[in-house]
Amino acid sequence: MGDLFDQDGTSSRGVRENTPTIDDMRNWFLSNFEDPANSLPYITAEGGYQWIFGGPCNADEELQHHFGGVASEEDIEELVSELEKTCTDWTPIYDHNADYEDYLSVEDLHYSKAEAKLKEHLEDVLQLESVSFTESLSNKYRQMLYANVIGALEAYLCERFMQLVFSHHDSFKKFVSTYPKYKDEKVGLRDIFIKVDNLREEVRKELLDFVWHRLFAVKAMFKDTLDVDFADIDPLREAVAIRNDIVHRNGVNKEGQDVVVRSEALLALIKDVTALVTHLEEQLANKFTPLNPIS
């Protein structure tokens, strides 16, 4: 009895190794399309279903587009026959957990507001810093403002990075090919279409869950993906350590002493954050040309 698989990967039964099965294709199709009766408005006077999410879609066309040349033609035909017993016209499933493209507006994808929002926030912090309190409350108050400035920087880094990754295809590819979680991931041929179809949503979730005050890691991501440099981040890394004592130890350091935040320290942090963002934006302006904001 010969080997089950020939040198070209074809089995003695004429099926390639890692060929998507009917179950694989069915799971993919039903994860992306549904019976219009489940989600679409039906208006008789307007001709029936209102295809507000795109469509109508044909099962044979969609399966051939995604699996043709990889899956068995007989399996595709069998699945199409099965699906058409449910309905012949399908609608794309609306993603209620919309991609970042929907989290931002179309305008935001091409014209970042992250820098403007950060500057506005820092101006608010400066105004709040001028509020007077009793001596016993002043330090606690400045601790909160100090931690808030780090939070504002995190929000800027997250939004700016995601805006560029999701609006520039080359940046998206660079991120996936250099980010430690993805760059060495092995994907079987049978799973590759599902992986590609879900990759943008997977990346979106990964970036939203990322801890953006891990500045050493963030610096590497900006360099590897966008080819921009953070310069010296040691003062900001020290500020993050102070922020961690404020947030996670209720304003007390590892030695059990109160973290003292003076006005000078708060103003210095705002200056360092502003300098970093200005440094990044100057580099990004030379690499990415934004469209004019939509009026």
Is residue 17 included in any domain, yes or no?
Answer: no
Q: Supply φ then ψ for residue 97, to 5 degrees.
A: -95, 75
Specify the number of domains making up the chain: 2
Same domain, 106 and 217: yes
Residues 199 and 250 occupy one common structural domain: yes
- Who contacts 237 (Cβ-Cβ below 8 Å, separation ≥6)? 215, 216
Asked if residue 172 and residue 46 are part of one domain, the reply reads no
Residue 225 contacts residue 178 (beta carbons within 8 Å): yes
Residue 291 Rama label (left phi>0; alpha psi -120 to 50; beta): beta
Are 167 and 70 contained in the same domain?
no
Q: Counting beta carbons within 10 angstroms of the beta carbon of residue 30, is it exposed (0 to 12), middle (13 to 18) or buried (19 or more)?
A: middle
Looking at the structure, do residues 56 and 33 belong to the same domain, yes or no?
A: yes
Instruction: Look up residue 146 and give its two tokens.
Output: 């100090």
Q: Is 294 part of any domain?
A: no
Same domain, 170 and 250: yes
Question: Cα(35)–Cα(88) distance, rounded to whole angstroms?
Answer: 9
Q: Which pLDDT score, from 0 to 100, does residue 106 have?
A: 42
Residue pLDDT, tens place only, 62-107: 999 888 888 889 999 999 999 999 889 998 886 544 444 444 544 4
Is the separation of the CB atoms in 245 and 259 below 8 Å?
yes
Residues 33 and 104 in one domain: no
Spatial distance between the Cα atoms of 284 and 112, rounded to a whole number of angstroms = 11
Nearest partner of 270 among 144, 68, 76, 125, judged by Cα:
125
Residue closest to 40 by CA, chosen among 94, 87, 2, 84: 94
State the pLDDT at residue 201: 87
204 domain residue, yes or no = yes
Distances (CA, A) of 106 to 58, 102, 132, 254, 291: 29, 8, 42, 46, 11
Q: How many CA atoms lie within 13 A of 283 on its CB side?
A: 14
User: Domain ends where: 38, 69, 92?
Assistant: 92
- Residue 86, pLDDT score: 86
Q: Is 4 a member of any domain?
A: no
Q: Are 54 and 90 in contact (CB under 8 A)?
A: no
Residues 222 and 144 in one domain: yes
Cα–Cα nearest to 74, from 20, 7, 9, 12: 20
Please identify, among 41, 65, 92, the residue that sits at the C-terminal boundary of a domain: 92
**Residue 178: which region, alpha, beta or left (left: phi > 0; alpha: psi -120 to 50)?**
alpha
68 and 141 fall within a common domain: no
Judge if 30 and 122 occupy the same domain.
no
Residues 30 and 147 in one domain: no
Domain for residue 193, yes or no? yes
Tell me if 293 is assigned to some domain. Answer: no
Kindly state whether residue 15 falls inside one of the protein's structural domains. no
Parts of the chain with a pLDDT under 50? 1-17, 96-103, 105-107, 109-110, 291-295
> Which of 92, 115, 135 marks a domain boundary?
92
Domain extent at residue 125: 100-287
C-alpha distances in angstroms, 123 versus 33, 69, 111, 118, 155? 48, 58, 22, 9, 16
Q: Decide if 254 is inside a domain.
A: yes
Task: Specify whether 81 is located in the same domain as 152.
Answer: no
